[in-house]
């Protein structure tokens, strides 16, 4: 999940007078903000600093990231021609992302932090929803309209996006990323039948491609329980879930997968003893068995308490590194 961000004063300082995209598009700055949380906390991984829509620049699509809202497009994709006219990806247009991965590896080595670098990308459904709605959405009505009314155009768009993501993560891995997380943050708005019909195949294509790169894949299936079997079928060595499902349920249903999650990020705003209890509950749910990556169930919020983040990392390490 996101571990960099506005809860850190040093992040706010570097963001002063710059946009989020400025940071994403300047490898030295992206590297610096990715290192910030690692300098404060004994975290177990570094996360590429970028954002979900960054790779669509390789398709010539223009977008912005608006503070407190998220990605916004001046010209959303709505018509058939908008989709058919998309060019094949020019990954050279986003080479700053791969340079950021390399810079991050170099900074970790220089600062003697032996942690892996995680790359990431959006899953085709979540990316398509931003491209079609043109802004963050609650009901995804235009997205679903295209999916239901123009299934061939929908399939073409998701296919183009999965090809983009495959090339994009391949370059991240070539640059040194040691695992890749695919975020399907908004697929939870779909019925399991629609997910299977319209989303599963292009998503699976990505996980099949990552498997060939010989790096572990993490599938963020923030969807609740009903969709989880279909999302698990699409792939992912690790199923990453939010706090709406107890980890014991995930382990029971998918005993062959590793799990990631799933502390509610608002626990980081709670009084320290409450935070510690909530973190202990997540660890209890995971059952003390290997194959659990402790994480938040979603990205960190600007209101998170820095002391609590430090306390959380210590609490988890104290229990998991014992013996």
User: Distance (Å, rounded) from C-alpha 120 to C-alpha 54?
Assistant: 11
Residues 7-66 contacting ligand CP3, CB under 6 A: 15, 20, 34, 47, 49, 51-52, 65
- Least Cβ distance, residue 265 to ligand CP3 (angstroms): 10
75 is catalytic: no
Of 32 and 153, nearer to ligand CP3 (C-beta) is 32
Query: Residue 278 half-sphere exposure, CB side, CA atoms within 13 Å?
Result: 22
- If one asks whether residue 185 binds ligand CP3 (CB under 6 A), the answer comes out as yes
70 CB-contact burial (10 Å; exposed 0-12 / middle 13-18 / buried 19+) = middle
Say which of 7, 11, 96, 130 is annotated catalytic: 130
Per-residue contact string for residues 98-137; x = within reach of ligand CP3 by CB under 6 A? ----------------------x---------------x-
The region of 3-11, 80-88, 141-149, 199-207 touching ligand CP3 under the rule CB under 6 A is 3-11
Total residues contacting ligand CP3 by CB under 6 A comes to 24
11 is catalytic: no
- If one asks whether residue 196 binds ligand CP3 (CB under 6 A), the answer comes out as no
Residues 68-87 contacting ligand CP3, CB under 6 A: 68-71
- Identify the residue whose tokens are 């973190």: 279
- Least Cβ distance, residue 100 to ligand CP3 (angstroms): 10
Among 75, 7, 14, which residue's Cα sits nearest to residue 37?
7
Strand residue runs (E) in the chain: 46-47, 64-66, 70-72, 117-122, 179-184, 217-221, 238-240, 258-263, 292-296
Residue of the chain from 299, 311, 317, 319 that contacts ligand CP3 (CB under 6 A): 299
Q: How far is CA 174 from the centre of its chain?
A: 19
User: Distance (Å, rounded) from C-alpha 108 to C-alpha 116?
Assistant: 9
51 is catalytic: yes
Q: At what angle do helices 151-175 and 200-212 cross, to 10 degrees?
A: 20
Cis before 262 (ω within 30): yes
**Structure token pair of residue 149:** 């009314």
Residue of the chain from 140, 168, 183, 207 that contacts ligand CP3 (CB under 6 A): 183
Task: Report the catalytic residues.
Answer: 2, 6, 15, 51, 130
Sites of contact with ligand CP3 (CB under 6 A): 2-6, 15, 20, 34, 47, 49, 51-52, 65, 67-71, 120, 136, 183, 185, 298-299
């Amino acid at each position: 999940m996101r571990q960099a961000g506005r809860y850190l004063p040093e992040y706010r300082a570097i963001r002063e007078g710059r946009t989020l995209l400025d940071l994403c598009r300047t490898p030295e700055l992206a590297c610096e903000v990715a290192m910030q949380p690692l300098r404060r906390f004994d975290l177990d991984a570094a996360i590429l600093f970028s954002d979900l829509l960054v790779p669509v620049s390789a398709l010539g699509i223009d977008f912005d990231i608006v503070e407190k809202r998220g990605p916004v497009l001046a010209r959303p994709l709505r018509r058939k021609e908008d989709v058919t006219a998309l060019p094949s990806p020019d990954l050279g247009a986003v080479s700053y992302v791969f340079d950021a991965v390399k810079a991050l590896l170099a900074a970790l080595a220089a600062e003697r932090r032996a942690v892996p670098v995680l790359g990431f990308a959006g899953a085709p459904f979540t990316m398509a929803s931003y491209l079609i709605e043109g802004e963050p959405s609650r009901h995804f009505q235009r997205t679903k309209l295209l999916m239901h009314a123009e299934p061939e155009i929908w399939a073409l768009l998701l296919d183009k996006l999965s090809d983009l993501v495959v090339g994009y993560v391949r370059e991240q891995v070539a640059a040194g990323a040691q695992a890749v997380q695919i975020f399907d943050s908004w697929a939870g708005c779909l019925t399991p039948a629609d997910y299977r019909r319209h989303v599963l195949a292009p998503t699976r294509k990505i996980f099949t491609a990552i498997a060939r790169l010989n790096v572990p894949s993490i599938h963020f299936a923030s969807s609740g329980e009903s969709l989880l079997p279909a999302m698990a079928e699409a792939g992912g060595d690790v199923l990453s879930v939010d706090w709406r499902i107890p980890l014991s349920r995930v382990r029971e249903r998918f005993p062959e997968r590793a799990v990631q999650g799933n502390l509610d990020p608002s626990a980081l705003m709670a009084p320290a003893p409450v935070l510690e209890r909530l973190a202990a509950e997540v660890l209890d749910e995971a059952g003390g068995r290997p194959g659990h990556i402790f994480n938040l169930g979603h990205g960190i919020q600007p209101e998170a308490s820095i002391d609590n983040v430090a306390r959380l990392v210590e609490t988890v390490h104290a229990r998991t590194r014992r013996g």
